[in-house]
Amino acid sequence: MQLTAEQVQQNWLDFIGFIDDHISEPRKTALKAFYEKYEDRIILMPAAHKKEYHNAFPGGYVEHVNRVMTCALHLHKLWGDMGANLDTFTKEELIFSALNHDLGKMGSEEEESYVPQTDNWRREKLGEDYMFNTKVPFASVPDRGLYLLQAHGIQYSFNEMIAIQTHDGLYDKANEKYLMAYMPEQKPRTSLPFIIHQADLMAARIEFEREWLPKFQGNLDTKKKGFTLESNKKQPSKNSSQTKALGSLKNAGLKNLLDNL
């Protein structure tokens, strides 16, 4: 996936537009000042470091966040139509949480998290166009995002904190304490965390389908012409055990590696 310069710029304008339309003062000014300070970095950030994940290309982060905010607005209406209590959080909390759910992927104030991959083998065989910047001290994405907000004087509500903290749902074991409680008094008092998680999940799934479904229907590995699901079934290699292994692998990078052994 590759965005044009015009698409990157429009996505950024849409990104700032969500702040203008849904965030009230004084946070609107503070958020815009923060994002404009780091605009040159954030506008071209990927949403992940490898192709198997979603939007791992320049500009992928902003496009992903815009999609999460759009999904969140649609899900907000759906939850309301289905009878959910929407009085326990505000529309501003919804957009603020979606806007900043992955902010921790930015890295530190001085260093970005994702830098271009320098290992050609990992780039070509594993699809890792980026690698993690070891100059950035480790922190989970939600923790780093919340730290960056408070470090720049941007306050957030309790609802927003929990929604950002748990946006990965039960894919992150750290969220079990919030999302697997059995006593009523320990369960979230608002549906906001569930809506944000569903919006993120929906956006990531759509991005996966856009990137990978055409490859499943045609060429799985764009760097290796002639390999398709059908050709793999109908034209077994000389080594039958290798053919069987290739057919069971899900990772395109590992498939390519084994195919070249």
220: pLDDT confidence band, cut at 50, 70 and 90?
Answer: low
Whole-number Cα distances in Å, 109 to 41, 138, 143, 261: 10, 14, 14, 43
Identify the residue whose tokens are 């480790």: 138
What predicted TM-score, i.e. pTM, was given to this entire model? 0.81
pLDDT by residue (tens digit) across 158-178? Answer: 999 999 999 999 999 999 999
Most confident of the following: 7-16, 43-52, 212-221: 7-16
What is the number of helices (H) and of strands (E) in the chain? Answer: 13, 2
pLDDT by residue (tens digit) across 111-169? Answer: 999 998 888 998 888 888 888 999 999 999 999 999 999 999 999 999 999 999 999 99
The whole-chain average pLDDT of the chain stands at 86
Sequence-distant (≥ 6) Cβ neighbours of residue 95 within 8 angstroms? 18, 22, 23, 69, 72, 73
Contacts 24+ apart (CB under 8 A), 170-174: 172/140, 174/140
Whole-number Å distance between alpha carbons of 76 and 202: 13
Dihedral sign (CA 245, 248, 253, 256)? positive
Sequence-distant (≥ 6) Cβ neighbours of residue 74 within 8 angstroms? none
Whole-number Å distance between alpha carbons of 35 and 46: 16
Whole-number Å distance between alpha carbons of 252 and 236: 18
pLDDT by residue (tens digit) across 67-105? Answer: 999 999 999 999 999 999 999 999 999 999 999 999 999
Q: What is the mean pLDDT of residues 188-203?
A: 98
